[in-house]
Amino acid sequence: MSESKIVKAAIASEMVAKPAAKTRGRPKKAVSQSTLTVRDAIAKAGEELGGAMRLAQWAREDPTNEKAFWTVLYLKILPLQVNGAGESGEHLISDIAIKLVKPNAD
């Protein structure tokens, strides 16, 4: 292939229309309205069924219920990321120790 054909092919490939940036849709991490509606409905139903007092009573009724409370329900409210004691939530490390151990000679 001659050099002029290669140049023409390169120019032609650059002239191909590039897809436009995505401008529609929900932004990242935005909560949909239907999710909020479902959460509100579940919270309202929970309050009508007795709220926290009834949930605690249910957990005490059976060891299986208590296990479900701790392994399923309670885990839903724990933070996904644990923040450290630093100013911006970083974990502070005061020192790192390296200990050399001599193997036992038999």
* Residue 62 identity: D
Q: Say if 7 falls within a structural domain.
A: no
Q: Say if 106 falls within a structural domain.
A: no
**Domain region containing 66:** 35-76
pLDDT tens for each residue of 54-68: 999 999 999 999 999
- 46 to each of 2, 75, 83, 99, how far by Cα in Å? 76, 18, 30, 54
Task: Specify the pTM.
Answer: 0.44
The count of structural domains within the chain is 1
Q: Say if 46 falls within a structural domain.
A: yes
Least confident of 33-42, 50-59, 89-98: 33-42
Q: Say if 14 falls within a structural domain.
A: no
Instruction: Determine the Cα–Cα distance for residues 40 and 30; give it in Å rounded to an integer.
Output: 17
The answer to whether residues 32 and 26 touch, using CB atoms and an 8 Å cutoff, is: yes
